[in-house]
Chains A and B, each alone.
Chain A
Amino acid sequence: MEDKVALLVNNISVVYHDVIQVLKGVSLEVKKGEIVSLLGSNGAGKTTTLRAISGLLKPENGRVTEGSITFDGKQIHNEPPEVITRLGIIQVLEGRVPFKYLTVEENLRVGTATRWGKPYKEDLELVYHYFPRLKELRNRLAGYLSGGELQMLVIGRALMAHPKLLLLDEPSLGLAPFLVKEIFDIVKKINEEQGTTIVLVEQNANMALNIATYGYVMENGKIVMEGKAKDLKENPDVKEFYLGTTAKGTIKSYKDVKAYKRRKRWL
């Protein structure tokens, strides 16, 4: 059971508007119950990969042109989001996108859209258990929440759907370091207690590799490196380009700025 593959992305290419190619043969494998993080700089194609999985490429006029995505043995690439969400794949969008004119509790209720009969009372309690702050704010309009509260809200909203696979797109974006830590701890807790498989897209490589078991590094629409999270953390290239330390592990200094830029091993 532990080693069963939940999500298999097999060599996919994604094209927007029929001409702009963003992904060029990306392959990922996510085992049931684990946290996999997807690292990479801006424009590497991380968000597009998530969109390809969740079906949200369509509204952006994008398409998987080659390769396949399978979830629990079913082919899901190019299916509409209504179908994919009902299989249990929920994406938490980058930049948090709440329903501004709905209250916190109504926001959470929208999360039950995929479920039969729309039960919500027990699930609300579950979300409030993970995010006690939301309970205090339940009747507040979501548009007036702070960044950290919004991040809790959108993760909570996704939890309401009882996801089997949760796709988190940059949950740390624009948050204070202690809040990032709090959010990541909760994500870890959700993964352990609910058994939710999680794909985590992050710029904050350090945090992401701390809670993930496996990691992929993307660049220019390709996977350039993969490995166990703890191995990646020790990798000199990852250290240099994503963790902000030198290859030896010491903090980077401006003194060394004139030293030659380390050549990426994978290029």
Chain B
Amino acid sequence: MDFFLQLLIQGLSIGCLYAIAALGFVMIFKSSSILNFAHGELLAIGAYIFLVISVWLNLPIYLAFIVTFVGSFFLGFVIERLFLRPMIGEALIEVIMLTVGLAAMFKGLLLFIFSGNTYVYPNFLPAGLTIKIGNITVSSVYTATFLATIIFLIVFGLFFKYSSQGIYMRSVADSQTAALSLGVNVRRVFALSWAIASLVCAMSGIVLGILNGINVHDLSKMGLKVFPVVILGGLESILGAIIGGLIIGVIETLVSGYFSTSLRDVVAYVILVIILMIKPYGLFGLVEIERV
């Protein structure tokens, strides 16, 4: 029983990580229908920025966080400006291929600068985050992942629900023509969704770096892991991304605990195939409101 609970908690916190990684992906898809294949690389870039600032430049941790978040936010803006804006009006498949190209380019750049070695962050998490309940110990990494996810989700939830920019972003996702007719700056909305997605990626990159160490190949693999998560949850749904992330996280951890760790990566894709067969729009996929 203890073993099960231990796995469950671990699974939930990994699930949180998947959830925020998927959040960025869903955001871009929702506003502009683009599947971003460079997602894993954006995540890796965030993790490396944090590494450079906290370890190589040896600056305080809070500064590293700020610089990473601001940096990746602007990186998202720049990517949109330089690569995606000229593609407005082109066929969707071309834009999606462009993100495949971006992925290759970013990965190449990262390998060129940092090579394929695995780095680690200094241990900066306060020891107080390690929680002991009975026989179960939750290590600080997992608690931190948990907390970070919850804070992120609350902040973004409030942003989308109440702020003007958040409402504009949702309006563009809903009907681009109507948004244009009211003077919503659709290009700015696209730019903002890339910027926010990139920021969220950086967050999950850092957490993943703390968990597994920083390695270009491992981090960019996360970009594929978001697919089962978002397909399970439904491509358009932020809530779906969160719940999909939690489910995949828990199942993966249970499988690797009870059966074998080598099954761990397979099981997510098995779920993906099953979901596509029985519920292709995902658990929370868009249910078209139809009125006659």
Where the two chains meet, the residues of A that have a C-beta atom closer than 8 Å to any C-beta of B are 54, 56, 59, 81-82, 85-86, 90-93, 97-102, 106-107, 109-114, 118, 120, 141, 143-144, 146, 154, 157-158, 161
Contact = CB atoms under 8 A, between A and B. Distances in A.
Given A101-B170, A102-B167, A110-B171, A161 B178 contact: no
Contacts of B261: none
A59 B170 contact: no
Nearest to B174: A99
Given A97-B175, A100-B174, A143-B289, A110 B180 contact: no
B177 A59 contact: yes
Given A101-B170, A109-B167, A161 B289 contact: no
25 contacts: A56-B180, A59-B180, A82-B185, A85-B181, A92-B181, A97-B177, A98-B178, A99-B170, A99-B171, A99-B178, A101-B173, A101-B289, A102-B174, A106-B167, A110-B167, A110-B182, A113-B168, A113-B182, A113-B185, A141-B289, A143-B291, A144-B291, A154-B178, A157-B182, A161-B183
Given A97-B181, A101-B289, A157-B182, 17 more contacts: A54-B181, A56-B180, A56-B181, A82-B180, A85-B181, A92-B181, A93-B181, A99-B171, A100-B175, A100-B289, A101-B170, A102-B167, A109-B164, A113-B164, A144-B289, A146-B291, A154-B178
B230 to A, nearest CB: 18
Contacts of B181: 54, 56, 81, 85, 90-93, 97
Nearest to A84: B183
B170 A102 contact: yes
B164 A86 contact: no
Interface size of B as a range: 20 to 34
B176 A110 contact: no
Contacts, number: 84
B179 interface: yes
B88 to A, nearest CB: 10
Given A109-B164, A110-B167, A101 B174 contact: yes
Interface string B25-48: 000000000000000000000000
A106 B176 CA distance: 15
A110 B168 CA distance: 6
A110 B179 contact: yes
Nearest to B186: A82
The winner among A91, A101, A114 for most chain B CB atoms within 10 A is A101
A120 B164 CA distance: 10
B78 interface: no
B285 to A, nearest CB: 13
B183 A113 contact: yes
B8 interface: no
B183 A82 contact: yes
Contacts of A110: 167-168, 171, 179, 182, 184
B124 to A, nearest CB: 39
